[in-house]
Amino acid sequence: MSKTAKPKLKIGDSVVKKKPWGTTHPMSKRYGIVEDVMLKDNRRGRTHKYYTVKWTSGQRSLHGSNVLIRVDPLPPSSPV
């Protein structure tokens, strides 16, 4: 039986998406709020946490914790 680590993020946390490595194009930061936490198993049976995020644009997407950074507070220019 494998133990799972304490969640890095909680529902309601403000987050920003990390900039992809290797890109030379300027990118605006993408802000959002965590709506759901989901556990998924990989092929080897290890459990990982994935987060559903509602972005300022209104879109929702699923990301691993390695792509998201918690920010406090959310910048006033981002209407979520």
Residue type for position 39: L
> For residue 74, which of 28, 13, 17 has the smallest C-alpha distance?
13
> Is the sign of the CA dihedral 35, 38, 42, 46 positive or negative?
positive
Q: What is the pLDDT along the chain (80 residues), one digit of tens a residue?
A: 556 566 689 999 999 888 777 666 666 678 899 999 999 998 999 988 999 999 988 999 999 888 898 988 766 665 55
Residue-range domains of the chain with CATH: 14-70 (2.30.30)
